[in-house]
Amino acid sequence: MRALQLVSPGKIEVREVDVPEIASDEVLVKVAGAGLCHSDVHVLHAPEWPIPNMTLGHETSGHVEKLGDTVTGFAKGDAVLVYLIWACGVCRPCIEGRDNVCVNQGGRYAYPPCPGLGPNGGMAEYMKVKARYLEPLGDLDPVQAAPLADAGLTPMHAINGARHRLGPGSTAVVIAVGGLGHVGLQILAATTSARIIAVDSSEQKLELAKEHGADLVLKSDEMAVKRILEETGGYGADAVFDFVGVQPTIDLATHTIAPDGALRFVGLGGGKFTYEANGAAEPLPWGVDVRRSFGGTRTDQRQVISLAQQGKISVEVQTYPLVDGLKAFADLEAGRVPGRAVLVP
Ligand code: NAD
Ligand code: ZN
Ligand code: ZN
């Protein structure tokens, strides 16, 4: 079968590999779509990556092709989504429903195994998955639904963790309207009563934001802080979601969050967040709570699938044949993908 692999740091290639053999608790999924996340771009450019010849793709949907001997609850042909976080399911965080911070397989700074970022992922014709990491998609179109595994899941988690600040009269700021951000906007619009301000460096992405629930769109220039403060009576936004994580967006977030606000860092752009206790120039107002948000829980995943099934959110998908995967990477890096690129084998 064909698979798009990270061959070595900086090098990706579509190549011929064997169809995976499944164990008794696994399912062979015939891939329908594999979303391309900006994290894949970070991984491609990482100076070191410990796993050579790894099939990328951590947003995968497809149809059940073959079931291991002990697998129940699925039948051949079922449409499924592959849950991102392959957590242990039995550690204390897992049984508390915080499987995205599973202790057994991640430790303090690592993360639990995620397909396409360790085990082989879904940018291939077939993928093997333990049955317990599959979520039924029902009638959802799997190609459209593939990005729900991360571009849906991750904003859902960040928003669920800030929900207590998103009541009537509140303001939420979404920094970046890319794959994650354009779904985040829709989740906010569908599930909260916050007024939503979208910020991006690209005019084209700001147009997309208007279609997906933003009440106000702002260019991420030097005026953005002033504008957001003006729009909130000088108080700041009750929740700020940074889906970029470069220095300018971290600074924008810290200078616009309201007292007691929920500051959610999701983007992994390499910027730095600093905190100065009692410093004269400290930008953080009192009471701000900061989260370095990672992926989402199984509950977040179910919720986001449910919102899509109800037609309350949808991913703007631009498809590419798997063989054109390298073009999709180039387009994403150049900012030419509105919404999410999905590779179709
Ligand atoms: P994307 O490429 O689809 O979108 C990025 C968006 O950021 C684009 O709309 C771009 O115009 C905008 N942008 C770039 N620089 C900007 C700036 N200075 N100011 C405002 N907007 C700017 O990316 P994505 O797939 O949505 O991923 C976003 C980030 O989130 C990446 O860093 C990715 O690695 C990270 N990520 C983190 C998690 C997590 O669990 N924490 C999960 C998935 C992705
Ligand atoms: Zn991702
Ligand atoms: Zn665990």
pLDDT (tens digit per residue) in 266-277: 999 999 999 988
Whose CA is closest to 26, among 102, 143, 120, 137? 120
As a whole number of angstroms, the distance between CA 57 and CA 59 comes to 6
pLDDT tens column, 139-184: 999 999 999 999 999 999 999 999 999 999 999 999 999 999 999 9
248 burial via Cβ count (<10 Å: 0-12, 13-18, 19+): middle
Output the six-digit token pair for 313. Answer: 């959110």
Decide: helix, strand or coil at residue 16: strand
The residue whose C-alpha atom lies closest to atom 20 belonging to ligand 1 is 200
Q: 297 CB under 6 A from ligand 1? A: no
Q: For residue 202, which atom of ligand 1 is closest to its CA? A: 11
Question: In this structure, are residues 294 and 100 in contact, taking their beta carbons and an 8 Å threshold?
Answer: yes
Q: Which residues, 6 or more positions from 239, have their beta carbon under 8 angstroms from its beta carbon?
A: 159, 162, 165, 166, 170, 171, 172, 173, 194, 257, 261, 262, 263, 264
Question: In this structure, are residues 299 and 309 in contact, taking their beta carbons and an 8 Å threshold?
Answer: no
Q: What is the mean pLDDT of residues 80-95?
A: 95
Question: Quick one: pLDDT at residue 106?
Answer: 62
Q: Which residues, 6 or more positions from 150, have their beta carbon under 8 angstroms from its beta carbon?
A: 35, 37, 39, 58, 59, 84, 180, 295
ipTM of the complex: 0.99
pLDDT tens column, 113-143: 899 999 999 999 999 999 999 999 999 999 9
Q: For residue 293, which atom of ligand 1 is closest to its CA? A: 41
Query: What is the distance between the terminal CA atoms of the chain, rounded to a whole angstrom?
Result: 10
Question: Quick one: pLDDT at residue 217?
Answer: 98
Q: 40 CB under 6 A from ligand 1? A: no
Q: Report which of residues 111 and 128 the model is more confident about.
A: 128
pLDDT-derived band at 110 (thresholds 50, 70, 90) equals confident
The edge-to-edge listing of strands for the beta sheet with 195-200 is 216-219, 195-200, 171-175, 237-242, 257-265, 289-292
Question: Quick one: pLDDT at residue 278?
Answer: 83
Whose CA is closest to 141, among 79, 64, 218, 230? 79
Closest ligand to residue 59's CA? 2
Domains of the chain (ranges, CATH numbers): 2-150+296-344 (3.90.180.10), 154-292 (3.40.50.720)
Question: Quick one: pLDDT at residue 99?
Answer: 93
The residue whose C-alpha atom lies closest to atom 31 belonging to ligand 1 is 267
As a whole number of angstroms, the distance between CA 158 and CA 41 comes to 22
Measured at the CA of 271, the angle between CA 6 and CA 254, to 5 degrees, comes to 140
Question: In this structure, are residues 201 and 209 in contact, taking their beta carbons and an 8 Å threshold?
Answer: no
Closest ligand to residue 97's CA? 3
Where would I find the H helices in the chain? Answer: 38-45, 92-95, 142-145, 153-160, 179-191, 203-211, 224-231, 247-256, 298-309, 325-333
Q: What is the mean pLDDT of residues 210-216?
A: 97
As a whole number of angstroms, the distance between CA 222 and CA 276 comes to 23
As a whole number of angstroms, the distance between CA 81 and CA 61 comes to 4
> Strand pairing partners for 152?
none
Whose CA is closest to 150, among 278, 301, 3? 301
Q: 150 CB under 6 A from ligand 1? A: yes
pLDDT tens column, 6-51: 999 999 999 999 999 999 999 999 999 999 999 999 999 999 998 9
Q: Report which of residues 341 and 108 the model is more confident about.
A: 341
Output the six-digit token pair for 263. Answer: 């500051």
Mean pLDDT of the chain: 96
DSSP letter assigned to residue 310: T
Question: In this structure, are residues 264 and 241 in contact, taking their beta carbons and an 8 Å threshold?
Answer: yes
Question: Quick one: pLDDT at residue 103?
Answer: 86
Q: 301 CB under 6 A from ligand 1? A: no
Question: In this structure, are residues 142 and 33 in contact, taking their beta carbons and an 8 Å threshold?
Answer: yes
CA 245 to centroid of ligand 1, rounded, Å: 7
Question: Quick one: pLDDT at residue 29?
Answer: 98
DSSP letter assigned to residue 179: H
As a whole number of angstroms, the distance between CA 97 and CA 91 comes to 10
pLDDT at 193 over 70: yes
Q: 68 CB under 6 A from ligand 1? A: no
